[in-house]
Amino acid sequence: MSRIEKGLIIVAFFVWSAMMVGAGYVGRMLLAPVELRIERIDHYGSNPHALLDEAWGHVRDHFVGVVPSDTVREYGAVRGALATLNDPYTTFVEPQARALERDHMRGRFGGIGVSFTRNERGEIVLSPMPDGPAAKAGVREGDILVGIDGTPLPSPADLEDVARIRGEVGAPVTIEVLRGPQRERLTFTIIRQTIEVNSVEWRTITTTVRGALATIGHVRIRNFTERTGEEAKRALSALSAADSQAYLIDLRNNGGGSLAAAVEAASEFLNDGIVAIEQRRDQPEIVHRVRKGHTKPTNGKPIAVLVNSNTASAAEIFAAAIQDHKRGLLIGEKTFGKGSVQLIFDLSDGSAVRVTAAKWLTPERRALDGAGLTPDIEVVGSEDAQLERAIRVLSEAIGNARR
């Protein structure tokens, strides 16, 4: 064998060796991800929260600040999961906030009879109800709440911090407040009582029509609770007894509430037909009809409904039914535009998840989600200007009826 042939054989050997090594390397590169993927599928299949636990383990071991409790972590995980739905109305509600929400919908709770606002410094300012437990104990308008049962409020305080004022009827609660420019520190121990918050208020408005006095019944519905239907009936009965010749329904700044309550209240102004149509996933439509069964004092009387940009949800259901049935005129500003229905599911620890489960349509099948209701008569400006315009419209209707 010549020297050249021997050289070629040696070169060929090294080339072959390199190819085998390369093939083995490439083979491992191709096979490794498959094996890794199978291992991870088995791992996470047995524990769907393994990735979260793995990540949180690193946080627990290395985070430089205070690590929240497992409960706080779990609440955050639920919120994060719900956020992937990209629906602002599907939300998680923590236990104390859920208790407040439930009390609000019932229209009664154990408390001391105060409402809260927040000033420019983020402090909680108290406004006691006349003749309520807090007022009788000496709490004054403008007192600043700084502590409950010996525990100072954080600054700024949130709804759940203040919620501790509520509790079992007959049980005491001690509050600490600051009063006046000198910020005098005072302490009050108050026995909780049953506090009822009416969702409906009413009064009569006297006006002159064609030289004669006329009465307009003004009904303000602040929200739709379990008691709204019965409260509306009482209001209309009282206003009918006062010889009201027209009715003004005020839904401004009404953010909604119970759909069933809106249907019941709207039924006081409609004789028959549809109030709203509910559409759920993979289910037949649910048609909410006017509820019958008693004489309605508003029959044949002119109606106007005041709305603004904060009129939303169940309040829009009510207003849309009046508008679609041509039972009355909407006066004011374009409404908020919330055309969805949320179901509330209470969870084992007292928290809850609110899930958007349906869309609703007006009787004429208008979808208002994101669109809102356009008033028949637009009045942009002060609430007084809107009220005055509604009174003029109803006065003209009363005058026309007298001809």
Per-block average pLDDT, block size 10, for the chain (403 residues)? Answer: 50 46 40 36 59 86 88 90 92 85 80 82 85 91 91 78 84 92 92 89 90 90 92 94 95 91 94 93 92 82 94 94 96 93 91 92 91 94 92 90 69
| Six-digit token string for 36 | 């890794």
For helices 50-62 and 3-46, angle between their N-to-C axes, nearest 10 degrees: 90
What is the pTM (predicted TM-score) of this model? 0.75
Question: And the tokens for 175?
Answer: 């509050």
Please give the CATH superfamily to which domain 200-402 belongs. 2-enoyl-CoA Hydratase; Chain A, domain 1 (3.90.226.10)
Indicate the helix (H) or strand (E) that contains 33: helix 3-46
Distance CA 227, CA 200 (A): 9
pLDDT for 252? 94
Q: Scanning the structure block, which residue is given the tokens 């709770």?
A: 109
pLDDT of residue 217: 95
Residue 41 is predicted with a pLDDT of 40
How far does the chain reach from its first CA to its final CA, in angstroms? Answer: 131
Domain edges within the chain? 1-46, 50-84, 108-196, 200-402
d(CA 319, CA 304): 10
pLDDT score of 213:
87
Catalytic residues: 313, 324, 338
The residue behind tokens 């229905």 is: 341
CATH architecture of 108-196: Roll (2.30)
pLDDT of amino acid 278: 92
**Amino acid 38: pLDDT:** 36
